[in-house]
Amino acid sequence: MTVDGHKKMGDFSLSDQVVNCETQFDVLRLLREVTKGFGYQYFFVAGSPSAEVKTFSEAIVITSAPSEMVQKQDASQPPPSNPLTVVLRQFSAPFEFRLDQPDQTVPANFKDFAERVAASYGLECSFVVPVYHPDHGPAALLFIGKRAPLSFVEAAELSHYGQLLHEKLRHVSARPPKPDSPLTERERECLVWTSVGKTSIEIAQILNLSEHTVNHYLNNAARKFNAVNRTQAVAHGLRFGFID
């Protein structure tokens, strides 16, 4: 990725590549490249805060961070002390948080989260891009790593691409099934989230369903494909284009 007035990867500007994303995997792959290109190690996509979302892991829709990072955060905080929930309720503009600038004003539990990540992984700065959808409310992208402070231009660009990528991720995730698909929309959604490694409990949080209902949809999908388990059902759905 180079900087010449616009961030670029290969022969296309980032904006072009976002437009050309057709599946969740395209968006997630591009998110990884953007994260690395701006000098961060990991990204988190967080969903809208709600009374039901008590822990850090429940707030995360998808992330490139190791699972142990999320698990350590859950283990070290008393529910409902979710750092992203507080941030989403208090901030509407993107902001950079750095542990080498102790006078910054951020919620205490977000600072505690950053300090734990720094202690365990050596990642000392983060950039939060709040996003808003009229039908779904506030959400956010969080980039975390160890790099020099963002310039004004970099912060503006990363905020812009964060907004575009989040909107594209929501768009491709909500795509209706193919006309010849045997899956209902809920069955397709559950298979899609299973394909990116989400558990039934996590899918239930994302879709605002019960774990029992998620398992019901996944079992239905497996039965329709004559699959022995959900992994085989995902493989069948991907092979025939019923899920992206």
Six-digit token string for 72: 């350590």
List the chain pLDDT tens, one digit each, 244 residues. Answer: 444 444 544 445 777 888 888 777 788 889 989 999 999 999 988 876 665 566 777 777 778 888 778 777 777 766 556 677 777 777 788 989 998 887 888 878 788 888 888 988 999 999 999 887 766 677 889 999 999 999 999 999 999 999 999 888 888 777 665 667 888 888 888 888 888 888 888 888 777 778 888 899 899 999 998 988 888 898 888 888 888 6
Two tokens at 99? 């542990």
The beta-strand segments (E) located in the chain are: 2-3, 7-9, 12-13, 40-46, 60-63, 95-98, 125-133, 137-145
Minimal CA–CA distance to 57: which of 195, 206, 186, 174?
Answer: 206
Q: Residue 128 has what pLDDT?
A: 92
Residue 129 pLDDT: 92
Tell me the C-alpha distance between 59 and 136, whole Å.
Answer: 14
pTM of the complete model: 0.69
Give the pLDDT of residue 150.
94
